[in-house]
Amino acid sequence: MIKNINVALIGNPNTGKTSVFNALTGLNQKVGNYPGITVEKKQGSCRLDRVTKARILDLPGTYSINASSMDESVVVELLLNKNNPDYPDVAVVVTEVENLKRNLLLFTQIKDLEIPTVLLINMSDQMQRKGIKIDMEKLEEKLNTKVVLVSTRRNSGVDQLKQILVEYRSISTTPLMNPKEIDPTYFENLEKAFPNQSLYKLWLVITQDVNFMQLERKKVEDTTHFKTQTKTYLKKLQQRETIKRYQMINQILKATYEVNRKEAKDLRIQLDNIMIHKFWGYAIFFLILLMIFQAIFEWSSVPMDMIDSSFAQLSEWIKNQMPAGILTDLLAEGVISGLGGIVIFIPQIAFLFLFISVLEETGYMSRVVFLMDRGLRRFGLSGKSVVPLISGTACAIPAVMATRNIENWKERLITILVVPFTTCSARLPVYLILIALVIPDGRLLGFNYQGLTLMGLYFLGFLMAILSASVLNNFLKSPNKSYFVVEMPNYKLPLLKNVLLTVWEKTRSFVIEAGKIILAISILLWFMASFGPGKNFSNAEQIITQEYADQPIEPEVLECKIAAFKLENSYIGVLGKTIEPLIRPLGYDWKIGIALISSFAAREVFVGTLATIYSVESDTQETIKNRMAGEKRKNGLPRFNLATGISLMLFYAFAMQCMSTLAIVKKETNSWKWPTIQLFSMTLIAYLAALLAYQMLK
Ligand code: GDP
Ligand code: MG
């Protein structure tokens, strides 16, 4: 019989929780959300020995269990609620060898919740270089638990951790501190009112700032025979608790922990002199961005071309192999082109996340946050907004979720509202195909024009985000000002495993989440293009044949004319034509109109939509790009010229064309007001910008 145990990984941010989690679970992990809120939940499983299996939970980083953000409240809520199915049988507090003192505050708090708590000291590979020595035996004795030294980088200590987890029942659950040390009278009264309960737990339920979803604080507060005291008084007690704990920790470390400070001045200080320098810091950040965008553009073109032509061949193959009919058409034109439209973006998304996760892993991202705080504050954003804004380059949805780390509501709201301006990966395919069509392939100072245009679009997105933030900053009122503390982790070589798992996870979720929508819409579009209302559609063949009856015309040309006529009269043609008057001033026709409409479900559908529309029109197997390049206006000039291309890029840069983002904003702001404002104002801006661009360039 297999025994299942719950293990929770808890610790300060950047101590290596996720690395430990990855070392334990490998690919046996899944990422979801906590029910009702949007904090990311990482869960995995690990076989500890022949009879024990652990369910491992990688909890959000937290400094203490006095929660001040959503992320932290998830941790507190779990630890205080025995009925939660994830309630840990054993907690592993992940700490880091260099900041052990600060990390231990959280450890002592969790230990006092009477959960078996293991202390994991990570990054043991740094000990020698930093001159750190730890007396493990004494530390175990003083903390009254198991302590394990781990280096996920060298993969040492992980087996020992598994062994400790197997034997978790032997770990003492006696608290380290008696709450009565904080305030004897208060806690004695509490004990009288609630006998036989853990005082420390009770007190946490009373004092937390966040509103728990599952725990009922009212029960405690409403008890008539116990007065909970004023908020300020409770805050004072919390501070006293922290002081008491640090006194205890200092004493323990004095006897067990030793640092030889001589070696402390190292690479980090020298590097930071440059990386956060007033001029060089920004210059380096700019260069890194430039490199990333060149790489995304040039490196991904080879696999993308391969994917593009493979799907074209596959579709052709199906047409040849299967009997002609609706099912074959559905497969060859609806399903395959839809799938192709998903798979083709994998190379770029993977590259982008490769870079983002390397920047995070090396510790450089925190320097970026530091650099940007100075500037962003002026616009009503916080230094912490940089992470959402940069994550927005992947997708606005995780980015909006990442704003939960911003404590100040106004700064958070502004960040949520402007994040959709940053160029998400769904816009990338639209940009790439338009750039390839209308921007010439020359070079300026060694940089390719097309790459520069792409970078320009990314900057435009950020610029618009900043501009609208500063407008919003003047309109929105805020009760309190915020302060900002940034922690700079050491520079490190990235852990390959962490980077690869991030890339894998994000790409997979793109394929699954966005893929579902793209595929569904591709099929819907195929349906709408293959069927139509009224007589014109069903009698297309007759009508066209009659029209050309007295003209000499080749059979293939006639076929094409029929197909085009059918498309014009299909459901989708009718829809596109309905909005044509509205978008003609922007340089678009009804076919682009169809693509615009379907983009409101997901922007990346744009290319697939055009591909579907044009593939219905022509029977020759060409790549999407060639099909678009061959598209003509009535006067014989190409449909996609510089003016249309730029106008479309601007429209996509600014328009709020993503139902999923609107849904997440509604959820995060808890009202329809903000997503509605977002939808209308962004789309209006987009329309005006595209109009201006087309009228000036045509
Ligand atoms: P989390 O925020 O607690 O989930 O921490 P992560 O797992 O994301 O790790 C934070 C940073 O520490 C990353 O840059 C890791 O590469 C690095 N790191 C993790 N484990 C080790 C280790 O054993 N040794 C060293 N030197 N660095 C590590
Ligand atoms: Mg983590």
- pLDDT tens digits, 408-459: 778 889 999 999 999 987 888 889 889 988 888 888 777 888 889 998 999 9
> Would you say 108 and 161 are in contact if contact means Cβ atoms under 8 Å apart?
no
Residue 622 exposed, middle or buried by CB count within 10 Å (0-12, 13-18, 19+): middle
Q: Is the beta carbon of 498 within 6 A of some atom in ligand 1?
A: yes
The ligand with the least distance to the CA atom of 62 is 1
Region of poorest pLDDT, from 231-240, 517-526, 613-622, 627-636? 613-622
Give residue 112's pLDDT: 93
Closest residue by Cα to atom 5, ligand 1, is: 16
Place of tokens 């003192």: 101
Q: Is 492 in the pocket of ligand 1 (CB under 6 A)?
A: yes
3-state secondary structure (DSSP) of residue 33:
strand
pLDDT of 54 higher than 60: yes
Ranges 374-378, 464-468, 560-564, most confident? 464-468
* CATH 3.40.50.300 describes domain 3-170: yes
Q: Give the distance (Å) from ligand 2 centre to CA of residue 59.
A: 8
Closest ligand (CA of 95): 1
Q: Is the pLDDT of residue 668 over 90?
A: no
Cα 17 to averaged position of ligand 2 atoms, centre (Å): 5
- For the Cβ of 122 lying below 6 angstroms from any atom of ligand 1, the answer is yes
pLDDT number for residue 616:
42
Ligand 2 midpoint to CA 368 (Å)? 18
What is the number of the ligand 1 atom nearest to the C-alpha of 493?
A: 16
**Rg (alpha carbons) of the chain, rounded to whole number:** 30
Domain boundaries along the sequence of the chain: 3-170
pLDDT reading at 476 higher than 50:
yes
Distance, in Å, from the CA atom of 183 to the CA atom of 157, rounded to the nearest integer, reads 40
| Position 618 pLDDT exceeds 50 | no
Which of 14, 42, 120, 155 for a ligand 1 pocket mutation test, highest count of atoms within 8 Å of Cβ?
A: 14
Cα–Cα nearest to 105, from 95, 91, 116: 95
Of 152-166, 540-554, 573-587, minimum mean pLDDT range: 540-554
Give the closest residue (by CA) to ligand 1 atom 27: 123
- The pLDDT assigned to 623 comes to 64
Q: What does the mean pLDDT of the chain come to?
A: 82
C-beta 95 within 6 A of ligand 1: no
Is any ligand 1 atom within 6 A of the Cβ of residue 42?
Answer: no
Which is more confidently placed, 211 or 377?
A: 377
Task: Report CA(95)–ligand 2 centroid distance (Å).
Answer: 13
**Among the atoms of ligand 1, which is closest to the Cα of residue 489?**
11
Ligand 1 atom closest to Cα of residue 495: 16
Torsion of CA 265, 246, 68, 478, to 10 degrees: -70
Q: Is the CB of 638 under 6 A from ligand 1?
A: no
Structure tokens that stand for 391 in this block: 């994550």
Single out the residue of 169, 407, 379, 368 nearest to residue 285, CA to CA.
Answer: 368
Range of weakest confidence among 257-266, 348-357, 410-419: 257-266
418 lines ligand 1 (CB under 6 A): no
The confidence score (pLDDT) of residue 286 equals 83
Long-range contacts of 279-283 (CB under 8 A, 24+ apart): 281/367, 281/371, 282/371
